[in-house]
């Protein structure tokens, strides 16, 4: 009947409009956009172009407008969200982090705000800026607490044997002992780059102390 035919036509038109809206919201390929320009130059109307290429009329209008202004159909790069910190602030944050390796992100944020009232960022932003600079949070490695004299003695010992052969090293017996605590003490976190693992500022001094522990001694040649 005529009513059924009319209903089908209306339903088809609604489908076309919905499809056009969806296509308008989604990304249209560069080839389709150039086809829009080609049909536009041949005198086709916006509505005709949109119908034949199955895109929205708004997409056609925007494509033609961009071509007339810039001579291209390629979308201009989007600037994105503006950066909340300046390069100078980022450098200052890095200096403060290296000055105090044990400072946490909240501590650094508090120090930055004391020096600069305009530094209104979150703790997550501070951590992100430090990661961008290669400064990550690690547990400090534990090394024996050595004074300057002990460090100098070790350096002299190593330099004196720098040219030793394999045969000479085979006559050496290396021994060491280690203390394993049954209840480990709290580990210290430091902020450093991947190459600063053994930097003195990134090392937690280890000293012999009381407490339940097991001593193990061993040697190799």
pLDDT score of 25 more than 50: no
**Contact (Cβ atoms closer than 8 angstroms) between residue 109 and residue 121:** yes
Strand 203-206 relative to strand 141-144: parallel, antiparallel, unpaired? parallel
What would the mean pLDDT of 195-200 be, rounded to a whole number?
A: 86
pTM: predicted TM-score of the whole model, two decimal places: 0.47
What would the mean pLDDT of 162-186 be, rounded to a whole number?
A: 82
Cβ density class 9-22: b for 16+ within 10 Å, e for less: eeeeeeeeeeebee
pLDDT tier for residue 19 given thresholds of 50, 70 and 90: very low
pLDDT score of 140 more than 90: no
Quick one: CATH architecture of 24-75? Orthogonal Bundle (1.10)
Handedness of CA 113, 116, 120, 121 (dihedral sign): negative
The domain segmentation of the chain, as residue ranges, is 24-75, 87-134, 141-220
pLDDT tier for residue 199 given thresholds of 50, 70 and 90: confident
Among 42-56, 61-75, 125-139, the least confident range: 61-75
């Amino acid at each position: 009947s005529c009513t059924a035919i009319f209903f089908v036509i209306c339903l088809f038109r609604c489908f076309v409009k919905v499809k056009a809206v969806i296509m308008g919201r989604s990304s249209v390929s560069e080839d389709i956009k150039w086809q829009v320009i080609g049909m536009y130059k041949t005198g086709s109307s916006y509505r005709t172009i949109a119908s034949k290429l199955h895109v929205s009329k708004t997409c056609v209008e925007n494509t033609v407008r961009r071509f007339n202004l810039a001579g291209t159909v390629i979308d201009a790069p989007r600037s994105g969200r503006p950066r909340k910190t300046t390069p100078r602030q980022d450098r200052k944050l890095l200096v403060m982090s290296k000055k105090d390796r044990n400072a946490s992100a909240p501590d650094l944020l508090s120090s930055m705000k004391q020096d600069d009232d305009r530094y209104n960022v979150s703790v997550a932003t501070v951590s992100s800026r430090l990661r961008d600079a290669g400064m990550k949070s690690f547990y400090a490695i534990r090394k024996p607490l050595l004074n300057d004299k002990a460090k100098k003695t070790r350096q002299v010992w190593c330099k004196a044997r720098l040219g030793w052969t394999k045969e000479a090293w085979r006559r050496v017996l290396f021994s060491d002992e280690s203390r394993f605590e049954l209840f480990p003490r709290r580990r210290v976190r430091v902020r450093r780059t991947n190459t600063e693992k053994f930097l003195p500022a990134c090392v937690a001094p280890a000293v012999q102390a009381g407490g339940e522990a097991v001593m193990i001694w061993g040697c190799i040649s």
